[in-house]
Amino acid sequence: MPKFSANLGLLYPELPLLERLAAAAADGFRAVEFWFPYDIPADQLAAELKRHQLICTNLNAWPGEASADEFGLATNPARRETFRESVRQAVDYAVALGGARVHVLAGVPPTGVSLDTAWRSYEESLQLACTLAHEQGVEVLIEPINPWDRPGYLLTRQAQAVALIQRLGCPNLRLMMDFYHVQRGEGDLIRQLHEHLPWIGHIQLADVPGRHEPGTGEVRYSYVLEAIDRSGYQGWVGCEYQPSSGRGANLEWLGGRVPA
């Protein structure tokens, strides 16, 4: 059975973020991951992680202004300095939280920015992010997001992400493969896993449709989890799903508790 981390951006939605750490630990999780934890000082988060004997696997860099429909700054050349500061902030948090990986969102190219310009900006932004992160010993993740959930998002396919990783040649740049987005946008989960395994730094899961826990949709996760075990993947698998009950972590698919 793979090692599971609790994505605290979605699990335990009824609780404030710090209380989600205690809930995750009580359910048997040994690791957690964050979306955007920047409202809480890094040292306070680190203390709570230590108190509950949890590690942090990864977190997202700040995505920009929600009021401006930003979901990632890397494709916008006019936001380069803000992007730089967001990466520095994320790397500082990653170091304070024990060396977590930083996910850099690509974003949706803004109106007036061509696809060629957006891709050029994205590649330059990733190189900058990898340089800043490498100085602190931190890895950077990129994640393809399906075009149905996030229309216009620049990075949508696993092969596209891997080609980008190979082209940039940054030693600390890795793929975050989210099976929810793979199934929703491409399908063929097991082939995608095996084909792109050498570049995977982190895996996430949720069922389709609904983005709820495994067992609520069309994906046969018992087979997928066996395939992860057989692949030799040694990293964490993030439970990034919306509990169908609207609360807690809905761990019935794991027998009610995360296996030790």
CA-CA distance, 59 to 32, in Å (whole number)? 9
Active site residue 218: no
Number of Cβ atoms within 10 Å of the Cβ of 66: 8
Q: Are the C-beta atoms of residues 75 and 148 closer than 8 Å to each other?
A: no
Q: Residue 111, by phi and psi: left (phi above 0), alpha (psi -120 to 50) or beta?
A: beta
Q: Are the C-beta atoms of residues 206 and 180 closer than 8 Å to each other?
A: yes
Q: Which amino acid is at 183?
A: Q
Q: Which amino acid is at 77?
A: P
CA-CA distance, 200 to 225, in Å (whole number)? 15
Active site residue 19: no
Nearest to 8 by CA among 251, 259, 254, 248: 248
Token reading at 116: 């060629």
CA-CA distance, 106 to 156, in Å (whole number)? 10
Q: Which of 48, 70, 139, 240 is catalytic?
A: 240
CA-CA distance, 111 to 114, in Å (whole number)? 8
Entry field: residues in the chain:
260
Q: Which of 48, 70, 143, 213 is catalytic?
A: 143
CA-CA distance, 1 to 4, in Å (whole number)? 9
Q: Which residues are known to be catalytic?
A: 143, 240
